[in-house]
Amino acid sequence: MNTVSFADLKLAPEILKALTESGYTIPTPIQAQAIPVVLEGHDLMAGTQTGTGKTAAFALPMLQKLMPLASSSTSPARHPVRALILVPTRELAIQVEESVRTYAKHTHLRSLVVFGGVDIKTQTPHLKTGVEILVATPGRLLDHIEQKTVLLNQVQMLVLDEADRMLDMGFMPALKRILALLPRQRQSLMFSATFSNEIKKLSEDFMNYPSLIEVARSNASAENIAQKVFLVEQGDKHQLLTQLLRGDDAKQAIVFTKTKLTASRLAKQLQRDGVAADAIHGDKSQLERMQALDAFKQGKVAVLIATDVAARGLDIDSLPMVINYEIPHAAEDYVHRIGRTGRAGASGTAISLVSPEEEKYLLDIEKLIKQQIDRERAEVPRHSDRPARSTRSERPDRAAHAYHAPAPKKPSHDPWFDQPYVPSISAPAVPLKKADDPVAGKPKAQIPALFVRRTN
Ligand code: AMP
């Protein structure tokens, strides 16, 4: 049991005030361990799962260290970039900067986020006013460096957040170019869910005798997440999903798919089923992704369908459920995905729909998390029990009444699953049923009891 308080960590009153206003009462384990190390000025390599409070673990001591340098002057020269936080995706960039801004609101420190996919000219004026803390995706930061709209020669703190994902996404060359531009005399912090050999090599290259902290066994999945597998034919997944989403726990859920195509198609099918669903994936514009995420956070969208890349970095408070419509082929992605629920100690449910073809990937996941996941066999009504399907109804786009769409037979080589979020606790619940839905008004079905047979 962690009994340390934020005040025990010797954080400044301005920071403590912001934490109290955010409703934080006690530090999470990663915060309790990392904050003193960072305040002492050590480099740090931290193994943390998503949702452990890692952002505050680096942001709070960062603010504390930069506070003596804060200036109320409006002159840009008095606000050089002193801390650089590099993250793999725009969504994570936005969320990290929002957190930094919240924690810094009673200080004179300024923060800014820059990421690709939007007109660079809209970011330049903000950069020119001067900011102490810059959150950036690597590619866009390099664009700004090339355009000479940012100077990094006064950076004294560097954070690589979700470093494993940055490497997975091919950011190594960009990282190397950025690192070469930073002062050698600086403090470096790295956060990663997994510690591969490549990550270790990266830390050797740019860190100085880092302290190592692991809040949970690396590659372990959070203990407060109830995991369950439904064994189901690929072609029956859509029907099972619809049923699950009508269950009691599914007030809001993130559904992960492997490909962008499946994400879009599934969102359309669910909308036809009366579920307030939307998809986010790499083919959507930044604006569309932000709008979908906002609608989800506000509770206007009940189900967000995401691919792995699109979902990275999403942070929504108190998301109760993550569903893997298809399980990821890279076992580590499973850990990232389910980490979107059960954040900051809350409990969550992670359900995976696993077809016979996918069972081999399930075994890989179980090996990685060193845990056997409870399996149940889903018995959805046979085709003859459903409305007859014409050839036309097999086209998911046109099948107004088709209950499920046949999954593409071709296995995808595009790892696309993602991770969950958490909607604001105050978000109004969105009914998952249409007013004219025959099921509406009846007591909610206890899905597993209805059509699930336990197999182990
Ligand atoms: P992170 O792992 O940084 O993405 O944080 C996950 C979630 O936990 C975010 O919604 C944070 O606002 C929340 N959080 C972080 N630290 C605390 C804390 N000490 N108490 C309560 N919530 C926290």
Q: What is the pLDDT of residues 100-121, one digit of tens each?
A: 999 999 999 999 999 998 899 9
> Domain of 345: which CATH number?
3.40.50.300
The answer to whether residue 233 sits within a structural domain is: yes
Q: Looking at the structure, do residues 143 and 99 belong to the same domain, yes or no?
A: yes
Tell whether pTM > 0.75.
no
User: Confidence class of residue 384 from pLDDT cuts 50, 70 and 90?
Assistant: very low
Q: Looking at the structure, do residues 120 and 174 belong to the same domain, yes or no?
A: yes
Ligand 1 binding pocket includes 420 (Cβ within 6 Å): no
User: Token digits for 435?
Assistant: 């007013």
Q: Looking at the structure, do residues 287 and 138 belong to the same domain, yes or no?
A: no
The answer to whether residue 453 sits within a structural domain is: no
Given this model, what pLDDT does residue 442 score?
32
The answer to whether residue 446 sits within a structural domain is: no
Q: Looking at the structure, do residues 250 and 312 belong to the same domain, yes or no?
A: yes
Q: Looking at the structure, do residues 204 and 248 belong to the same domain, yes or no?
A: no
Of 194, 214, 234, the position where a domain reaches its end is: 214
Q: Looking at the structure, do residues 208 and 72 belong to the same domain, yes or no?
A: yes
Of 351, 377, 403, the position where a domain reaches its end is: 377
The answer to whether residue 306 sits within a structural domain is: yes
Spatial contact of 5 and 27, defined as CB atoms under 8 Å apart: yes
Separation between Cα atoms, residue 227 and residue 219, nearest integer Å: 15
pLDDT tens digits for range 31-80:
999 999 999 999 999 988 767 889 999 999 999 999 999 998 899 999 99
Ligand 1 binding pocket includes 95 (Cβ within 6 Å): no
Given this model, what pLDDT does residue 336 score?
77
**Domain that residue 154 falls in:** 7-214
DSSP 135-173: EE-HHHHHHHHHTT----TT--EEEETTHHHHHHTT-HH
Q: Which of ligand 1's atoms lies nearest the C-alpha of 316?
A: 10
Domains in the chain, number: 2
**Residue closest to 368 by CA, chosen among 417, 331, 415, 333:** 331
Atom 21 of ligand 1, residue of closest alpha carbon: 24
Q: Looking at the structure, do residues 263 and 208 belong to the same domain, yes or no?
A: no
Q: Looking at the structure, do residues 100 and 149 belong to the same domain, yes or no?
A: yes
Given this model, what pLDDT does residue 381 score?
67
User: CA-based angle 293:298:300, to the nearest 5?
Assistant: 85
Of 146, 179, 214, the position where a domain reaches its end is: 214
Q: Looking at the structure, do residues 256 and 330 belong to the same domain, yes or no?
A: yes
Q: Looking at the structure, do residues 134 and 232 belong to the same domain, yes or no?
A: no
Q: Looking at the structure, do residues 210 and 236 belong to the same domain, yes or no?
A: no
Atom 9 of ligand 1, residue of closest alpha carbon: 53
The answer to whether residue 396 sits within a structural domain is: no
Ligand 1 centroid – CA 365 distance (Å): 26
Given this model, what pLDDT does residue 183 score?
96
The answer to whether residue 421 sits within a structural domain is: no
Q: Which of ligand 1's atoms lies nearest the C-alpha of 23?
A: 21
The answer to whether residue 90 sits within a structural domain is: yes
